[in-house]
Amino acid sequence: MVPTLWQSGGPINLASDSVLTDADLSGSDLSSADLTDIVAANTRFTDANLSGARLVRCTATYASFNGADLSGAELTDAVLRGAQLIAATCDRTDLTGTDLRAAKLMRLDLSSAAWHTAYLSGADLTGAQPKAVIDCATSAVPERKP
């Protein structure tokens, strides 16, 4: 199923491999959408509903997910380098292998998320939970190979 968004200019269809560079999808309902392999650099997903969405291998460098609902979302092997996920909801979110280097993850509760193999080097985890995720980000993490 290709998700359709309604923006002021009319409907926007998204499919795997879409390029959304510099798009503003703030407040959009993308729940259960399959956004595998999309490129969304500098895109705003602020306060968007991405619950149950598949963002597998997506590239969303410097994107904003502030306040977004990522409950049950799958971000396996995604590249979110420099992205902002401030106060996002990450209940049961799969961040396996996700590149979150230099991301802003303040006030993020990852207690029920799969984050143990995510790349967190240099991420800002001020106020994040659990404490183990903060410890992981400050320890030496090997560079991800291309």
Mean pLDDT by 10 residues, the chain (146 residues): 42 64 93 93 97 96 98 98 97 97 96 94 93 73 49
Residue ranges of alpha helices (H) inside 34-143 are 131-138
Q: Are 17 and 38 in contact (CB under 8 A)?
A: yes
Look at residue 140 in the predicted model and tell me its pLDDT: 47
Q: Which tokens in the block code for residue 15?
A: 């499919």
Q: Is 131 helix (H, G, I), strand (E, B) or coil?
A: helix
Cα gap 78→100, rounded to integer Å = 9
* Cis peptide bond prior to 130, omega within 30° of 0: yes
What pLDDT score does 13 carry? Answer: 52
* Segment (H or E) for 143: none
